[in-house]
């Protein structure tokens, strides 16, 4: 008998959700590499999974999912060590929907239903698309005076990424019960590994979040009585599809281009966050 576990993938547009799903599906279906989880039966509906996987294999960017998009995916997975089987459900959703949740401060009932059936979430952050806070010192020197910054009406889309994510998490967490887990995935981790600054490219995912998104990091830390948190740096593509395409195609086994940083360790195992979410 397999246990049922569910999680919701959360992240703003282009945060890397669908690319993660595409790479994960390739890894578990192809069994090219030994990973922590394997699938024990194929899901009935594989059309979407195969479509995004084909894009992933040919190093082509995925289309952004539209607001109303919701693709239910359930995989029956087995843990390599414990041999425990789990039916793991995780719908792929549109990042635009989360933007709308932030703007309207409303969550649809069917989304609340998804959350209440879930044991956790995977929160995706794309380090390439961070909107950083603007410091008061950058805008107006003390005592006023001229500034070179254009003045304009504030809009929701001007909010720093970490403010939006904390707001979304606060709304979501009001609707969950029992023990809950948050796996934070910093996507496009290759962009961090490829920077020449050795202090930066050697950061653990947790240290990266503390440094680049302190509000989100502190929110997760202060609320650690409400949920457990773990941090993963994942390069689901393995690199940039334009400038590094030849190198990415050069891998005999495409699963080898994936990189996962967990603590100080780097591996190809993209299943690690799922395994952490599933295990008690
Ligand atoms: N360099 C690099 N870029 C990545 C990686 N993963 C995703 N990206 C890029 O990030 C962007 C968004 O990827 P998606 O997976 O489509 O993002 P999403 O969260 O599904 O976006 P929505 O469907 O709009 O919610 C694309 O431009 C990808 O090429 C990676 O591992 N490395
Ligand atoms: Mg998507």
Own/partner long-range contacts of 191-197 (Cβ < 8 Å, ≥24 apart):
191/127, 191/128, 191/240, 192/127, 192/233, 193/235, 193/259, 193/261, 194/239
Q: Please indicate whether residue 61, judged by its CB atom, sits closer than 6 Å to ligand 1.
A: yes
Paired tokens of 12: 């703003």
Q: Please indicate whether residue 267, judged by its CB atom, sits closer than 6 Å to ligand 1.
A: no
Distance from residue 148's CA to the centre of ligand 2 (Å): 37
pTM of the model: 0.94
pLDDT in tens, 4-50: 999 999 999 999 999 999 999 999 999 999 888 999 988 989 999 99
Distance from residue 274's CA to the centre of ligand 1 (Å): 19
Quick one: pLDDT at residue 212? 97
Nearest ligand to the C-alpha of residue 17? 1
What are the backbone dihedrals phi and psi of residue 192, each rounded to the nearest 5 degrees, phi first? -80, -45
Q: How far apart are CA 170 and CA 172, in angstroms?
A: 6
Quick one: pLDDT at residue 35? 85
Q: Helix 95-104 vs helix 161-173: angle between axes, to the nearest 10 degrees? A: 80
Burial annotation 194-219 (CB, 10 A radius, 16+ → b, else e): eeeeeeeeebbbbebbbebbeebbeb
Name the residue of 9, 11, 13, 62 to mutate for ligand 1: max ligand atoms within 8 A of Cβ.
Answer: 62
Distance from residue 99's CA to the centre of ligand 2 (Å): 13
Quick one: pLDDT at residue 260? 98
């Amino acid at each position: 008998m397999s246990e049922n576990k569910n999680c919701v993938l959360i992240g703003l547009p282009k945060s890397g959700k669908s690319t993660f799903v595409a790479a994960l599906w390739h890894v578990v279906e192809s069994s090219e590499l030994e990973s922590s989880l394997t699938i024990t039966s194929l899901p009935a509906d594989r059309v979407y999974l195969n479509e995004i996987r084909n894009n992933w294999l040919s190093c082509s960017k995925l289309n952004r999912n539209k607001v109303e998009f919701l693709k239910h995916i359930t995989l029956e997975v087995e843990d390599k060590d414990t041999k425990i089987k789990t039916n793991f459900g995780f719908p792929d959703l549109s990042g635009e929907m989360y933007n709308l949740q932030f703007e309207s401060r409303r969550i649809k009932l069917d989304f609340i239903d998804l959350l209440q059936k879930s044991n956790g979430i995977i929160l995706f952050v794309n380090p390439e698309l961070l909107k950083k806070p603007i410091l008061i010192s950058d805008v107006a020197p003390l005592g006023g005076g001229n500034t070179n910054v254009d003045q304009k009406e504030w809009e929701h889309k001007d909010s720093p990424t970490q403010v939006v994510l904390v707001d979304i998490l606060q709304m979501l967490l009001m609707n969950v019960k029992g023990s809950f887990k948050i796996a934070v995935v910093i996507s496009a981790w290759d962009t961090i590994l490829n920077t020449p600054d050795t202090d930066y490219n050697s950061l653990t995912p947790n240290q990266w979040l503390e440094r680049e998104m302190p509000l989100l990091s502190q929110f997760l830390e202060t609320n650690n009585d409400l949920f457990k948190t773990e941090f993963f740096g994942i390069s689901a593509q393995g690199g940039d599809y334009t400038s590094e395409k030849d190198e990415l195609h050069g891998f005999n086994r495409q699963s080898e281009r994936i990189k996962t940083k967990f603590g100080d360790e780097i591996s190809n195992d993209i299943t690690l966050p799922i395994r952490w979410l599933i295990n008690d």
